[in-house]
Structure 1
Amino acid sequence: MASMHCIINPAGRDGSTGKRWPKILKRLVEDGWDVETHLTERVGHATEIAYELRNRFENEDQKPLIVAVGGDGTAHEVASGLRGSSLVLGLIPTGSGNDLAMAHGLHRKKMDLTFQTLLNGVDRSVGALRLEGKAAPDAPGYPAIKIRDCDGPVEVEGNVVRWVFLESDCGVTSLTSRAKLTRGKWIRGSMKYTYLGLTEVLKWKKRQAWIKIDNEEPKRGVLSMVAFTMCETFGGGYKVSPKASPQAKHGHLTVALNLSKLQMIRLMGPLRKGKHVNMWDISHGPAKRLEIRAVDGDGNPTGLPHSPPLFVQSDGEPCIQTPAILQFMPDQLLVRGALKVDWA
């Protein structure tokens, strides 16, 4: 009998994940899985559980499938604990966004496909982005992040590191996710991001930034949105990086500078459909390294955070602020996906 450890966020999708779990567990057992259940109790708990499982099974001949049951936040935490190991991540998408699961051919409303994939899917090695910067300040119910063994050492004292398996963004989109921590709890799915995005655009305060992409000449301007991604969509289906492949030997970078509030609002529709590239000089292309800094009065990059803060996300978690560096790293995670995906 095949072994599976399921890490469940019972609070996912406003508590519906916990309510659905008994039915999901019944199906897994019917499919022949020997299931061990781990319920998370707080932010970051899924990473702790996954890292313990990694240390327990990494050197064993028979390794269990480690399954994240929840949304993109749960998937991110479990992936963070497994990163760099030979253990395989499985996904049961029951959250609000589920973009990582969608990238690997799964869907919250097609659970039969999910169960079939867990049994007979394809294990693929994918890259990730290493994000290092200053920890964002505490928010209600969301404490500032700390250094963890599973993320590896920092390069600059006082920084923290997180890993990105779906997307990292900075600008009005990261402020939208920061708002999600305290507002819009009554809205589900992509409508939540649309509503919060509109409210954040309306109160947007311009932040001048210095950004450096790979070995290119640095750019300066008002940082409206930068998205460095491993997959095509985030935010519940927004096609920010059209045709992005998690198995590419680079990340996928979208840069939008100097947009007005009206342009940012008008961008939301095209962004959802992947039609935003080249609008208002918005660029999109491959990249391996991105650095974001605040600038002084003369336009020179500084080592100080933006004021007001400019947050940088790690898979939807606005946990780091500028200055920050993102670096692509290949073959960081094994993910079990559907037999057929658009990018493979």
Structure 2
Amino acid sequence: MESKKKILFIVNPKSGTRDKRNIPMLLEKYLDSDKFVYETIFTCYAGEASKISETNRNKFDIIVAIGGDGTINEVAGPLTNSNTVLGIIPCGSGNGLARHLKIPRNIKRAIQLLNKRCTSTIDTITLDEKTFLNVAGVGFDAHIAQLFAKTKKRGFLSYAKLAMKEIRRFISIDYQLIIDGQERLEKAPFLISIANSTQFGNNAHIAPNALIADGLMDVCVLRKVPAWYYPILIYRMFTGTLTRSKYYQTWQGKEVQIRLLSDASGKHMHIDGDPYSINSIMKLKVNPLSLKVACQASV
């Protein structure tokens, strides 16, 4: 008989809109006790999930992030290039990575997927020393991420209302992109996204052709669009057809440098929807097949 795996659940009670107080009951009911012994920790502040993961990565076979993409990044960082498997029970606002990996957003079904003990190995991306798994970027989405982090209301509708309010106010700036040594200048793009998976979350696909285990990141540029094009842009994004837009262009690379061609003060980028203060130069690098994830057999 196969020995039981040790599994640690790290719960972010503030992520998304769902109440997490019933998590212990659901784990007790649906996690296979013949396959696992487990512990559960609820975080109290931003950044704590990373510290818990770092402290416990050599003590557990699997460490599961229960929260959104930001929580998943916190837990995943210390697990890269290790034998400890990252598990995901998605409870965020967008759940972009979980959607890409086809991990159920229903908590019961996500727990039952863990019972299958299937794993895949995926790429990660580093920005400076920070690891992320899904999508980072500069421009409009980073602007919204900064504002959204200050609001009390969570969820997709709150995000969408904020985006529609700000879309005409937003002022673009110029960037220099260097992708594997090749220089490109982007004059005031609407946004630049660095994608490991296909989507931001909520099935909004910014990089429809991205693969999460190909050793490459997708560099996606969406140029400023006229107001009449907004409905078409939204349609393209949510149907995975953004590549057909004349305002959209994408490249792939292993190393990317983004340089602001103006003052960086007060500017942010976002990392999986969380705002991140930036310098005038951002350096990103793919770490091929550097993280084991509990998900379906293939990604």
Match of 1:241 in 2: 207
Distance 1:52 1:22 in 2: 22
Alpha-carbon distance between aligned partners in 1 of 2:165 and 2:256, rounded to the nearest angstrom:
28
Match of 1:65 among 46, 62, 66: 62
1:116 aligns with 2:134: no
Root-mean-square deviation (CA, aligned residues, Å) is 2.2
Q: Which residue of 1 aligns with 2:188?
A: 222
Seen in structure 2, the aligned counterparts of structure 1 residues 318 and 85 have a Cα distance that, compared at 3 Å, is: same
Please state whether the residue corresponding to 2:292 is helix, strand or coil. strand
Alignment of 1:308-323 (within 5 A): 309-321=266-278, 322-323=280-281
Residue 31 of structure 2 contacts residue 115 of structure 2 at CA under 8 Å; is this kept in 1? no
One-letter amino acid matched to 1:252 = D
3-state SS of 1:90 partner:
strand
Return the alpha-carbon distance in structure 1 between the equivalents of residues 226 and 258 of structure 2.
20
Q: 2:291 is matched with which residue: 308, 321, 333?
A: 333
1:212 corresponding residue in structure 2: 178
TM-score, normalisation: structure 2: 0.89
The separation in 2 between residues aligned to 1:70 and 1:27, in whole angstroms, is 20
Contact kept in structure 2, 1:166 and 1:231, CA below 8 Å: yes
Flag the 1:98–1:293 CA change in 2: closer, same or farther, 3 A: same
- The one-letter code of the counterpart of 2:13 is P
2:29 pairs with 1:27: yes
1:22-61 alignment, distance < 5 Å: 22-29=24-31, 31-32=33-34, 33-54=36-57, 56-57=58-59
1:94 aligns with 2:97: no
What is the DSSP-based 3-state SS (H/G/I as helix, E as strand, rest coil) of the residue aligned with 1:246?
Answer: coil
Measure, in 2, the Cα distance between the counterparts of 1:264 and 1:285.
23
Unaligned runs of at least 5 residues, structure 2: none
108, 125, 130: which one aligns with 1:129: 125
Counterpart secondary structure, 1:249: coil
**With structure 1 as the length reference, what TM-score do the two structures score?**
0.78
- 2 CA distance for matches of 1:128 and 1:64? 19
| SS at structure 1 position matched to 2:158 | helix
Aligned 8 A contact 1:123 1:336 in 2: yes
Tell me how far 1:287 sits from its aligned partner.
Answer: 1.9
Q: 1:310 to 1:272 in 2, by over 3 A?
A: farther
After TM superposition, give the deviation of residue 74 of structure 1 in Å.
1.3
For residue 186 of structure 1, the aligned residue among 153, 156, 165 is: 153
Cα distance change, pair 95–24 in 1 and its aligned pair in 2 (3 A): farther
1:42 Cα shift? 0.5
State how far apart, in whole Å, the 2-side matches of 1:24 and 1:81 are.
26
For the 8 Å contact 1:171–1:310, the answer to whether it is kept is no
Quote the Cα distance in structure 2 between the aligned partners of 1:210 and 1:259. 20
Cα drift, residue 328 of structure 1: 1.4
Secondary structure of the residue that 1:95 maps to in structure 2? coil
Q: Which amino acid aligns with 2:93?
A: S
Structure 1 stretches (4+) deviating beyond 6 angstroms?
A: none
8 Å Cα contact 1:8-1:70 kept in structure 2 = yes
* Cα deviation 1:76-127 (Å, max 9, x = unaligned): 1100121221100011112222221222221213732x22321214222211
Cα distance, 1:194 vs structure 2: 2.0
